[in-house]
Structure 1
Amino acid sequence: MTAAGVRALVPGLLLVVAASLLAYGVAGVVPAVTASTVAVVLGALVRSTGLHRPVFAPATKLVSKRVLRIAVVLLGLSLPLSQVRDLGTAGIVLVLGVVVITFFGTQLLGRLLGLSPDRSLLVATGFSICGASAIAAVRPATDADEEDTTTAIALVTLCGSLAILLLPLLRTPLGLDVHSFGAWAGASVHDVGQAVATGDRVPGALTTVVVVKLSRVLLLAPLVALVALRRRRAAGAAGTALPPVLPLFVAGFVAAVLLRSTGVLPDGLLDVAKHLQEVLLVGALFGLGTGIDIPRLLQTGRRSIALGLLSWLLVAAVALLGVKALGI
């Protein structure tokens, strides 16, 4: 990148840093929301109020794509394969069932609502796996445009934030003990940060939430490969260029998972990587948020909003039924 290109990034990067600091500040004052949620909202407010000037665009585009991909790779360092063993058979069945039913069920709902296959696919991926990170990972294997992506991000942020507030209130009426609630939250809340925030509101549930949630995240690479293979078959039949089975940054995510699973990385380094991943994700989500025009979404995205709410109800219901049926 040239010196002029670097200078062009400075105003936008300063905006991203300021917004990220504000997001962490708000999250510190209001524990019911996460910094990543606040970052998306701030980005959408900046866009919707006309404050996102052209001078900021180079940096916000950079962080919403490249920085988000770096955050996805670093997420892999939080995922030792050994935790799948810790789940047990019932936990593995729960995670697989929730992901499969939510992924395909959301796409079916999208078709019934008349939404495009690509938008439905992005929403399905975000709700079934891990929110914005999953949406970013699967997008290269689709024809989804920027509006599809930002809409899916907005929906998963909205519904995940509602889950933080509502799920703990439903624990007692649903007759869930602490462990069962942790399994339900881990299997149904979308973003990792949102799942942690939900579990943190019920003392003793956080460990179960994290194990179940991160086990869902491990399915990110197989799901991306599945989508890419389906796209390759369609592209081959049409004679168009074939997409990679795994985008480079998703391959990096897999490599990070394998590296973490070796146990060679010291805890101090893993802690640094975890915090760096969270910081980069917050900045990237602010950048993505600047692509969300709230008035336009409310006027033209009613079917998309309906899909998000239905997918949220689907994943919560399937996870709850699974916890009850499997006796977790």
Structure 2
Amino acid sequence: MPTPNTTDPAPAPPETPSAAAPPGATRRGRIARLLPGLALSLLAAVVAIMFSRAVPQASPALVAILLGAALTNLAPLPPALRPGLALASRTVLRLGIVLLGLQLAVGDILALGPRAIVLVVAVVSLGVAAGALAGRMMRLGSAQSLLVACGMSICGAAAVAAVRDSLAPTPRPGEDAQAARERLDAETGTAVALVVALGTLMIPLLPLAAAALSLPEGVAGIWTGASVPEVAQVVAVGSVLGPQALKIAVVVKLGRVVLLAPLIALVTARTRREAREAGSTTAAPPLVPLFVLGFLAAVAVRSFGFIPEAAVAVSSQVASLLLAAAMFALGTGLRRDVLRTAAGRPLLLALAVLGLVTALSLVGAFAIA
């Protein structure tokens, strides 16, 4: 009788990802996961921009953040929205910052004169340095202090989010890496909310103060551009002060925006140094992030006249849309527990930095005029 074959058949080779789904299907799957949150962010940005046009005192960034905060606190966000919201808060934000560079012409900034340039550099450098020092004295985390200080001193919510990308989440005792990332995201949301809210309060208050001090339009314009955090808020204040003040304010403000690039490089260099000292094996961020290089390239394109004014106007609208979408995504991180923390020491720090920047800007405006 023949001996039965008891040998098990050879197992089938495991199904590889490429065999399970072609690359095109994998890409389509990734896009499908991103679409819900990204589409919601863009829709919220459109609503925010339309509302701000009806109510000029409300900047699109503020409206977008409030929409995001309201949504996340009214009901838990579906998990399907998270990938797209993450893309909006990072990649979409970076694209918006790059397009913001097309609004800057180096010649316009240089035309302000050396004293105005010195004022811009002083406001940004002293505001950031004083904010970091005051935050340490208040026993706030270094990341939270830097985020608030940069937002108040440079260009508002866009600066906060850009600086966040240059920071490495550092776990505290008892934290894992995921908890550290969530804490940094919460600190970013808190800083964005404070910067936008306090900057919006300046829209009615600064023109009232300028009228009480009987400031000429030129002085009021320099003061506005050197002190108000958001570009949209500067436009709103300048529109109240008068056409000459508006023109000067926007140029001075854009001079502050230019300093975002060297600041990001400095923050990234510090992050890399701290990672080396801590012996971290995590890949360090590039010294100059790609979106900062894109921002500088956009400034160069505008400065050399390579782009027509009509395209500049369109890019301004697209940048507003992208930045508002990013602010909505960041606003979805402002849960009730995060908002409660914003009412304490972070608020005091934001008020202190804003007070310093406003006072320094006023003194500088008188000196220039």
CA deviation after TM superposition for structure 1 residue 221, in Å: 0.8
CA deviation after TM superposition for structure 1 residue 281, in Å: 0.9
Let me know the Cα RMSD of the aligned residues: 1.7
The corresponding residue for 2:226 is 187
The corresponding residue for 1:303 is 345
Equivalent of 1:158 in 197, 217, 221: 197
Task: Return the TM-score normalized by structure 1.
Answer: 0.94
CA deviation after TM superposition for structure 1 residue 196, in Å: 1.2
Asked whether the equivalents of residues 151 and 159 of structure 2 are also in contact (C-alpha less than 8 Å), the reply is yes
Q: How many residues in Structure 1 have an aligned counterpart in Structure 2?
A: 327
Asked whether the equivalents of residues 194 and 342 of structure 2 are also in contact (C-alpha less than 8 Å), the reply is no
The alignment partner of 1:87 has SS state of coil
1: CA distance between counterparts of 2:44 and 2:109? 36
The corresponding residue for 1:262 is 304
The corresponding residue for 2:117 is 92
Runs of at least 5 residues in structure 1 that lack an aligned partner in the other structure: none
The corresponding residue for 1:238 is 278
The alignment partner of 2:236 has SS state of helix
Task: Give the fraction of aligned pairs with identical amino acids, expressed as a percent.
Answer: 42
2: CA distance between counterparts of 1:274 and 1:61? 23
Structure 1 residues 141-164: Cα deviation after superposition (integer angstroms, max 9, x where no partner): 223521121111111111111111
The alignment partner of 1:243 has SS state of coil
2: CA distance between counterparts of 1:278 and 1:24? 8
The corresponding residue for 2:16 is none
CA deviation after TM superposition for structure 1 residue 22, in Å: 2.1
2: CA distance between counterparts of 1:220 and 1:296? 26
* Shift in alpha-carbon separation, 1:3–1:273, aligned structure 2, 3 A: same
Equivalent of 1:20 in 42, 45, 67: 45
> Structure 2: which amino acid aligns with 1:44?
A
Asked whether the equivalents of residues 68 and 284 of structure 1 are also in contact (C-alpha less than 8 Å), the reply is yes
Asked whether the equivalents of residues 118 and 143 of structure 1 are also in contact (C-alpha less than 8 Å), the reply is no
CA deviation after TM superposition for structure 1 residue 235, in Å: 2.9
Structure 1 residues 238-269: Cα deviation after superposition (integer angstroms, max 9, x where no partner): 33354321111111111111121111211122
CA deviation after TM superposition for structure 1 residue 194, in Å: 1.4
CA deviation after TM superposition for structure 1 residue 13, in Å: 3.3
The corresponding residue for 1:55 is 80
Runs of at least 5 residues in structure 2 that lack an aligned partner in the other structure: 1-25, 170-183
The alignment partner of 1:171 has SS state of helix
The alignment partner of 2:117 has SS state of helix
CA deviation after TM superposition for structure 1 residue 220, in Å: 0.9
The alignment status of 1:66 with 2:106, answered yes or no, reads no
Structure 1 residues 87-116: Cα deviation after superposition (integer angstroms, max 9, x where no partner): 102211211111111110111111111100
Asked whether the equivalents of residues 71 and 278 of structure 1 are also in contact (C-alpha less than 8 Å), the reply is yes
CA deviation after TM superposition for structure 1 residue 175, in Å: 2.9
2: CA distance between counterparts of 1:147 and 1:227? 19
The corresponding residue for 2:248 is 208
1: CA distance between counterparts of 2:47 and 2:108? 34
| Structure 1 runs (4+) greater than 6 angstroms displaced | none
The corresponding residue for 1:128 is 153
| Structure index of larger Rg | 2
CA deviation after TM superposition for structure 1 residue 36, in Å: 1.8
1: CA distance between counterparts of 2:41 and 2:104? 28
Asked whether the equivalents of residues 188 and 315 of structure 1 are also in contact (C-alpha less than 8 Å), the reply is yes
Task: Return the TM-score normalized by structure 2.
Answer: 0.84
